[in-house]
Amino acid sequence: MVILLALPACILIDHYSPKSGFLGLIYFGQEFQKSVLPEVREISPVTSSQFGYDGQFYAQIALCPTLMDDALVRALDNPTYRSRRIGLPFLAFCLGLGKSAWILQIYALLNFGFWLLLLWAISRFIGYNSPRDLFLATALLWSTGTLTSIERSLTDFPAAVLGVLAVF
């Protein structure tokens, strides 16, 4: 089981910065820096590429999960589409106790938390009694989709984990 932690741990280590913590997992883009929420501008996260990735929009929703702020509408690339995926941002908001810096760090790490939850669920409901069980766990926990979701703070993997838990 400990070996399964290797790749996600490498992702976390690779994206950690003493200055910004785990915000490198969110992939903020330079093109959207003009329109980010004031709370994000104040924290000044590292921009990893020109356009960034979807997690940057959901992280901002986490700062304003009521979706009532006009600045949030300007900060999102597609407010109607993004507003339908409110679960993970809302969880980050609740766990962050309304503090912007905490909310963003928690949002960045939630995929890893769901990864640990899936690891526990596989252990609890299937076990690691045979090579087949280990291959199943590896396929689920090290798939490209899983690792990309951790690396870019996406909402897809946590949703999939909740679906798997419902099946279990």
The predicted model scores a pTM of 0.93
d(CA 163, CA 141): 15
The pLDDT, as a whole number, for residue 139 is 94
pLDDT digits (tens, 9 = 90+) for 22-79: 999 999 988 888 889 999 999 888 887 889 899 999 999 999 999 999 999 999 999 9
Query: Residue-wise over 102-133: b if at least 16 C-beta within 10 A, else e?
Result: ebbbbbbbbbbebbeebbebbeeeeeeeeeee
pLDDT given at position 144? 94
pLDDT in tens, 93-149: 999 999 999 999 999 999 999 999 999 999 999 999 999 999 999 999 999 999 999
What pLDDT score does 104 carry? 97
pLDDT at 56: 94
Of residues 111, 91, 98, the one with CA closest to residue 8: 111
Residues in CB range of 76: below 8 A, 6 or more apart: 57, 60, 61, 82, 83
* pLDDT at residue 71 in the model: 92
Residue 85 CA to its chain's centroid (Å): 12
Residue 1 has pLDDT above 80, yes or no: no
Q: Which pLDDT score, from 0 to 100, does residue 57 have?
A: 95
Tokens 């962050």, residue?
Answer: 96
